[in-house]
Each structure stands twice: as structure tokens, then as C-alpha cells.
Structure 1
């Protein structure tokens, strides 16, 4: 069980002060964490895990496998497979989650809290995104499990979109806030919630106005791109994710929130690998693979509004404080030095296309060997 009083954010003392040179060509920050990460399973782990392990100390691992990770035993076994896929001498720590269903028993939540390796429970509205068919159809059906999550002081991570057909896909996040999230917070006043991968100005405002037990993650793609990048000049399947990229005014609101220093906005890449063929077909999968250049993309976004000094809080401090975990003690250094991104990368017997494939990213890790 996480030792944090319900509804209270546990502050942690600073252990590393961000360091910048005069012209901002180098940036040293506390090693960051990724509070929303997909790694998949099986042979692809050895091709996916090293990218995140190179950049991040810890990551909240999503449970939407096939079959989903619905039990403590399954989460512990999945964690063991992830640890085996780490590079030699890596200390990368996977923070595991359970997949919430209509039928999750409170006793399973208690087992999860006692495990020491499970830190959150993931709520997917049924049908909202990849492998969410077993998700929650009605919040009232899992009320006892939600009460147990609050009682055990775990965190509920939410994919915040409604799924009914009459709501436009670009409005599904905004509709979720008042239709589902506001009643959930009212019904469970001790429940700590992370609204994941914010995409709208409405969600930014909702989190800001919400209680201290409500946090939010923001992805690099939603800080750097809008729906024009996905749709203008042809559909770009490797830019397709859920929640979908939104309007430019939403991107600007997200960037302002991320760079503001507000302690309840923090880094969560939502890096979501799919093989090339699953993206480039008549019904391409949702998900953007950003793990090979994730922290570098955040540096680009923060630099675009002259906010690099705020990156350490967003990437390295706020999430750890919200989850009640100690801040990391080691550091990473980024250099402003363009790096070419391969057109594709190995993915077991297939290939995967990262964001910026064939292009460049403006920053790169200093003195760190490539993970591929």
C-alpha cells in the first residue's frame, strides 16, 4: 500500500537542481519517470523496454494486453517478463497496474495493494481504445471495487472518453468530464485519480479546478501536434492515437499547463507500439510509438515556449510527488544536438515506425549509448 494520506499530495524534497548552461545547449535534470506507458508483451518486449529504460527510472505500465491484466498474479508475472527484457545493469522499475472490469472483486484490489508492485488500477470505458473491450460498461457496476481502490490508497488511472455513438470523436473527452468524472469524484471523495493523456483545454480547466487528489498526464504528441498534422494533405496513420489529436487551441492550452509548474500535471508518454502493418491498413490501430525519443520531444515542446527550466518539475518531480513515491536521485543530461530518427525499428519478426521516422529530433541524451 502506498503510504500517503488519502487526497493529499506528499511533497518530496528536491534532490537534484536543474542545471542549464548559458545558451541552453545542455540541460541536466533529475531522471524522469513515465506515468503512462504501453510495453505490450512477448518477444517484442526486448525491442521496446530498452528505449524507456534508457530515459526513465520508472513507468506506470498499462494492463491492456490480450487477455488483460486483471489479477495480481498476472501483474506480477508480467512484471517479471518486463524485468527480463531490461538492458544489462538497468535499474528501470515497472510500476504495475490492474485492468478494472465490471466484475473486479474488492478482494483483488486488496491483493494488489499488498503486492508492493501494483500502484494503480486502470479504468478503460469499454470500447474506448485498444484492447478495451473488457473495460467498464457502467461505473455503478464497479462501485465496490472503486471504494476498495480508495480504501487501499491506490490510484485510479482513467482513459477519459465517453463511447456512445452520438458524441463526436473530437468531443468525447470533454463530454466525459461532466458526465462521468465529476460524479465519480463526488461519489468517492477519497479516491485519488489520474486523468490520463489530456487532449483538450476543457480537461486542463477541469483538472485545475479539481481537488488535490486529481492529477493528469500529458503526452509529447499532444504538446507538439494538432489534428491538422493527422489529416491535412493525407491521413498519417502513425499520428493516429486515442484520444485523437485536437484543435490548435487545445494544444496551446496543454502546453501552457505542462510548462506552468502546476504540480498536478506531469509526464506520461502513452507510447503505444503497434507493428507497421497494424498501423498502415484499412483500419489502423490507435497508438503512437514515442519511446525512442520521448524526453527529447518534451524538451522540444518546452523550448518552443522558452520554458526549459520547467521541464524538471513536469518530467521528474510532479508525478512522483502525486503517487507518493520518492523522487529519483540520479540525473540525465540532454544536449541540443539533432539526432536522425530511423525510418523503422525492429519489432520481433516485424518492424515498428516511431514518431518522426526518417526525420530528426532536436535534442538527444548525452553520453548514453543507443538502446537499439
Structure 2
């Protein structure tokens, strides 16, 4: 490497590292939340320590019952903070065993009033603790890392036997994921159909006119997404069609410019020569123009798809009732449910990986 190139690389390295860290660190933290179990362990630490020695068959020994009684007593003594921790643990356990949403706080209250031994007090307080499923769910929820949130975002749950089954929200959760992917795919298709004539116009225009048209194409990006969508909201009634249209028009520059650049670099000579030789316009398009533009189409589709998956501002403003994945992610983050938000972010990242591969292939030509 020449000294000038090395010096330029060293000067750019801190900025590149800053940009990389700024993108990867928050995203990695969010995805980590989707795999971490943080609800039960802070509330029931003694119980989980004992359950680590349990083989999972039958019921645990009396030490587990006594540890649960001690943890529940400590939560009651902690006042509002303990009640909040108990509520979070109960909600998490209820995802595996719905009855535990009421069992955990009820057991804490009734066990304190029982004057027999602690193990018997837990069983008397609620017979749910006489079921192995409850203890299995408790031990699983206390693990440091699990796939619970990822499975829940896809509408699945782990059974006591270790298999998978639909959760109560299974169809709804999968419908949200499907709508998010479907909306992104429709945005790509809409952008592609609208971009082709504009890209050809830019590619075949004079340099001055092409520069002016490219600048006009970029105006939606300069306006900002919030202002652009608010303008569409004033013109259209709220609904899925309005949200899709606003998203498509906003992302149109990301499709137009890559296709226009590729077509302009290829030049118009080959299509014109094919037409002059008598090739019908339809075959000129399929055999000449489309193959020439495939690199720009690949780049444009990858960019639009990745951006459309995360475009929750448009659906949120134009269709508040829309159940899209990115909108659910934003709602979970606002509610402080970082486990669900992280899981949805992970599911959104999965289809972006093929898009990134397509972008890489398109950039290499």
C-alpha cells in the first residue's frame, strides 16, 4: 500500500469504527435482550439455585419449596419494589403456564398466613406447586439465556416435555411477522414498477437534465420521513393502502438512482441497435434492457426491502391499527418490554441478511 493510501486509511479508520460501533452496539444490545431471561432470576434467586440441582423428574425436594417460601417472603418484605419484581416474574411464568400469573402472588400471600412447615405451606397455598410443569417452567425461565422471547415472537412456546406448540397468541404473532414481510415485499414491487420509467428518463437525458431529475428524485429523502408521511396523511384517509403508498413513494429514490446509474453507464446503443435490427420492443426489454439493469435492480431491491422492514412511522401515522412487525417492536420498546422488542428485532434482521447478500452481489456486478 502506498504511503498516501495508508495515511488516508489511518485517518478514516476512527470515523469508520465510530460508525460501525454506533450501528452494531445498540442493535446487538437489542438482540441480546431478545435472548436474555431477566424477569424471574432477580425475583427468585434462592429457588433457582436449588432447582439447578433438580433433574426435572417428579417434584423437587423440600429445599425447593423452602427456597420459594423464602424468596416470596423477601419480595413481600421489599414493599412496592418487591411487588413489581413479583409481577414481572409472574407475567413471564404465565407465558409458559398461564395459571402462574395468579398463583405466584397468591402463594406469597397465603403462605405467609400458613403456620405449618414451609414446604407444606407452599402446597397448601396453591396446589399448582404440586405439578411438575410449574417447577419446570420456573427453572426454564430462570436460565440466563433462552429462546423464549424469540419463540414467543413467532407464536410458539416450549412444553414441559421440551417440545414446541402454539402459544395463545400464536396466530396473531405470526400474522404480524407475515404482514411486516408482505408489506416490505409490496413496497419493493411498487418501487420497482414506479422506478423503471423514471430511471430510464434519467439515464437517457442530457447530463444537465439528468442531474436536475436526480436532484428532484432525492427530494423525498431531504424532506424527512415524518414530514413526508404527515403530508400524505393530510391527502389520504388512514388505511393500509395509504401507509403502503407513503412508504413506497418515500423509498422510491433508493430504487430509481441505482437503476439509472447502471443504465446510464451501459448507454442506449445496444437497445437501439437491437430495435433497429427488428427486435420487438417487448423482447428488447426482456433480453437487452432488463439484463443491463440487473445490477441496479439488485441494489435497489436490497435497499428498499431493508428500509421498508423498519418503516413503522408511516403505518403508525396513516394506519394506527395496522399490525406490522416494526410497529409492534416500537410498541414493545415504549412499554419497556425489551425482551419482545429484542426478539422482534432479531426476526427483522433475518430477512435483511439475504438482502445484504443481494446488495453485495449487486455492488460487485
Q: TM-score range by the shorter chain?
A: under 0.3
Name the one with the larger helix percent: 2
Q: TM-score, normalised by structure 1?
A: 0.24
Name the one with the larger strand percent: 1
**Which of structures 1 and 2 has the bigger CA Rg?**
2
Q: TM-score, normalised by structure 2?
A: 0.24
